[in-house]
A and B are shown apart, each in its own frame.
Chain A
Amino acid sequence: MNAHLIISAFVLGLSMSGVYFLLTVGLSLCYGLMRIISLDQFLYYSVGAYMTYTIVAVTGNFWLGLLAGILTTILIALFVEKIVYKRIYEKSVMFSMILSFGVNLMGVGLIKYIWGLEPKPVKAPIGGNLNIFGTEVPGYRIFVILLAALVYLAVCYFLNKTILGTAIRAGIDDAEKVEALGINIYKLFTLTFLLATSLSALAGAIHTPMVMVVPDMGMNIIAFAFMVVIIGGLGSIKGTLISSLLVGQVVSFGSLIWAPLADMAPFMIMIIILLIKPTGLYGSKYMKR
């Protein structure tokens, strides 16, 4: 194994981490505040990807596609939140899991109905290669890494420095007290859900040039997203970041060593971590029984 291979695998791993982080931070936030596990984030991921594909095919502009993907999913999410989630915020986590999986499944069926089954390619908006220590690395991957880092910083800023973010963090700690202060917690719920959704759509949109756009793309990434969420611990942004970095590298280097290892190694790591800490690395204290 030479240095070129290691550097390119490292960069690939980092860019995958970026996608995983964008996808799972929404799941984590939703769990933290609303105590729901919103599996329909994977639908928004696919919709973001498909909208990007469609707009790129029509206008040729990737950034327009990215924006359209995010806006479309926000509209869908508003609808889903109003129809489905409003009714189940009070109920147990299990309820939201089954229901949101149903939403996800229905969405996959609709996507198959609208766009058909065949894989769709999307060209990367940033061509060219970057030279890192003598290794040529696709510039788009660097862009994905930078974007994910930027989103992490932005989310941290939003949660820690703004009034709304502070209210959300307070809601994560004690939702009843926040309501007692006169803040409409359901508005916070909607806001958090939309934030999570737009991040998922962003993940789908920026993932398109790296994979084929297929109806089952949400289902294909579901296992990795779950592993990231479980390793990091539900409800923790920092944990999600660290575990997505870990899983990205493990997948990338695993596939370098032996192809099936790419899928199995993260699972092994997850099992080991759960053996040591059943709530994941940074699991919230409410997860403990």
Chain B
Amino acid sequence: MSTFVSGLLRFRRGPWENLSTVLIALGVVMLMQPFFLWAFTYSFVVTLLGTVMFIITSHFPE
């Protein structure tokens, strides 16, 4: 856990990419879940944030 946090603080690619991946997956789940309309409403913002973050963070050093 502490490695993950220190990786985030030092702008390392691995943890940031993992965080973006989680956001994308969360966005897709929010888009398709049948329970809450508010989750569907905010799904696009979450997926977009994750995708943009992924594009940026994939250029961070290892």
Partners in one complex: no
Q: Which residues of A contact B (CB under 8 A)?
A: none
Q: Which residues of B contact A (CB under 8 A)?
A: none
